[in-house]
Amino acid sequence: MIYAIVLGIVVAVLCGVTIAKTLSVRTGNDFLVAGRKLPWPVLVFTLLSSWIGAGSLLGGGENAYKNGFVALWQPAGGWCGLLIIALIAGRARRFAQFTVPDLLEARYNATARVMATIAIVVSYTVIVSYQFKGGGDILHLIFPELPRATGMYIIAGFVIVFTAAAGMASIAYLDLVIGGLVTVIVTIAVPLILSDAGGWSEVRRALPPSHFTLLGDIGLSKALGFLIPTMLLLVGNQGMYQKFFSARSEKDAKYAVAGWIVGTLFLETMLIMVAVIGSSKFHTEAPREIIPLTARKGLPVILGAILLGGIFAKVISTANNYLFSPATNLIHDVYGRFINKNASERQMLIVSRVLVVALGIFALLQATQFESVLNASLYAYTIYGAAVTPVVLAVFFWKRATTAAAITSIILGTVVTVAWNLAQSQWGWQKDIDAVYPALAASVLSLIVISYATPKPSDEKLRPFFE
């Protein structure tokens, strides 16, 4: 009963914040970038909550259950990416647009905008799909009589309605509540779970020695296969740039990155610890459930219920973020740019909400097609990281990058990732080589070679980014 009560409170808080922020949405600017009024403390938690969702809680938990602390290679990709982000945040806010394709059109051309939008929609709807699946798993743990599939449909409907209601303002302030709650509860939970498992010596006795080594049984190539896609997704992350565009000032954007670095290092490490400690005591046929399962069975009822409610809320939060982001692309980068350039604020708002619903349904259909959240997350990260991140980094760091090279890079990054994964799943092609290696190689090499084979960009193209 206590789990149902806590979950009810979480849902009530989410509803309350969403309703309050929905009433404040008047224009497309309010919906897309929260009127560019977010202070840095809010930005810290919305960045933290949008980044640490089902990919960390379920995919990372699945990885830790199978491989132990080797799973830290996956979040370490985000930590490396944050060092690069620290150099970009203020400049991104200065540019003050709405989406990553805005950056790409300003630096390259409209074709680059459209190609990036396609890659973003594909990768982000995959990310949303496993948030739906993760939310369904959590509901099943709380209410065992509720089938996972039914829970998934309930979560999907919940997320779609929330995201369509208030846009960025709702998402950011929901994240503030959720991020603070989960950080505090996980900090309290780790020593209690360790005590319940019999202490550190018992954890080490119960698990293979490889779970406590740098590379475990997976080797360096596989470890980098966890790290690189995660790093690339974070550095080019559309939702992250959109939050920088929502910042009150350049200073707020820079402060937010500093807080994000600290929060991510701490929280992701603590979550892997929960999964490893939990795997020493609890066994499951669904490894992705190890963190919520440990919260359910390894903590006192009140704390377990609060942590499970927080995990549930973080899955909702991440789904909101990654559903909202591609909808923003389609409304701003396609509809407003090419279909109806004279659309009124009301028209843009209505179409935005319709697109959120359509993309949510598309993500739900994808969620029915896979089981491993870890594999789905790495696939989504690789599409985005190989197709979009190299050309985004070139916007800020490489004057020589040309339009033809950027377009080719985006196309090859997307096509090679999809084709490689399809060949692996259908014909067993090169099972030991992660898609990130050929996809990133094709993307970066084409960007470099074609840039040097075509005329330099004009000073006018470069001026906004290198002044």
Instruction: Confirm whether 394 is domain-assigned.
Output: no
* Residue 141: per-residue pLDDT: 85
Q: Is the pLDDT higher at 42 or at 398?
A: 398
pLDDT of residue 208: 94
406 found inside a domain: no
Domain of residue 118, residue span: 2-368
- Per the model's pLDDT, the better-predicted residue between 243 and 237 turns out to be 237
Flag whether pLDDT at 422 surpasses 50. yes
Provide the token pair at 296.
């359910």
Distances (CA, A) of 9 to 2, 173, 304, 309: 11, 16, 15, 9
Question: What is the pLDDT confidence band of residue 33, given thresholds at 50, 70 and 90?
Answer: very low
Does residue 212 have a pLDDT over 70? yes
Interval 286-307 mean pLDDT: 89
User: Quick one: pLDDT at residue 19?
Assistant: 67
What does the alpha-carbon distance between residue 45 and residue 59 come to, in Å, rounded to a whole number?
21
- Local confidence band at 362 (pLDDT 50, 70, 90 cut-offs): very high
pLDDT for the residue 24: 57
Average pLDDT, the chain: 83
At residue 216, φ and ψ (nearest 5 deg) are 55, -135
Residue 9 has pLDDT above 80, yes or no: yes
Does the pLDDT value for residue 269 go beyond 90? yes
pLDDT at 448 over 90: yes
As to burial, measured by CB atoms within 10 angstroms (0-12 exposed, 13-18 middle, 19+ buried), residue 342 is exposed
**Which residue has better confidence, 8 or 50?**
8
Number of domains in the chain: 1
**Domain membership flag for residue 426:** no
For 145-174, what is the mean pLDDT? 78
Residue 416 inside a domain? The answer is no
Please write the tens of the pLDDT for every residue from 106-139.
889 989 988 988 998 999 899 999 889 988 988 8
Q: Is 41 exposed, middle or buried (0-12, 13-18, 19+ CB in 10 A)?
A: middle
- Is 344 among the domain residues? yes
SS in 3 state form for the chain?
CHHHHHHHHHHHHHHHHHHHHHCCCCCHHHHHHHHHCECHHHHHHHHHHHHCCHHHHHHHHHHHHHHHHHHHHHHHHHHHHHHHHHHHHHHHHHHCCCCHHHHHHHHCCHHHHHHHHHHHHHHHHHHHHHHHHHHHHHHHHHCCCCCHHHHHHHHHHHHHHHHHHHCHHHHHHHHHHHHHHHHHHHHHHHHHHHHHCCCHHHHHHHCCHHHHCCCCCCHHHHHHHHHHHHHHHHHCCHHHHHHHHHECCHHHHHHHHHHHHHHHHHHHHHHHHHHHHHHCCCCCCCHHHHHHHHHHHCCCHHHHHHHHHHHHHHHHHHHHHHHHHHHHHHHHHHHHHHHCCCCCHHHHHHHHHHHHHHHHHHHHHHHCCCCCHHHHHHHHHHHHHHHCHHHHHHHHHCCCCCHHHHHHHHHHHHHHHHHHHHHHHHHCCCCCCCCHHHHHHHHHHHHHHHHHHCCCCCHHHHHHHHC
Q: Is residue 34 very low, low, confident or very high in pLDDT (cuts 50, 70, 90)?
A: very low
Neighbours of 361 (CB within 10 A): 12
pLDDT in tens, 60-111: 999 999 999 999 999 998 888 887 777 766 666 565 555 678 888 888 998 9
pLDDT tens digits, one per residue of 382-413: 998 999 999 988 988 899 999 999 999 999 99
CATH number assigned to the domain comprising residue 107: 1.20.1730.10
Q: How confident is the model at residue 256 (pLDDT cuts 50, 70, 90)?
A: confident
> Across residues 343-347, what is the average pLDDT?
78
Residue 437 lies in a domain: no
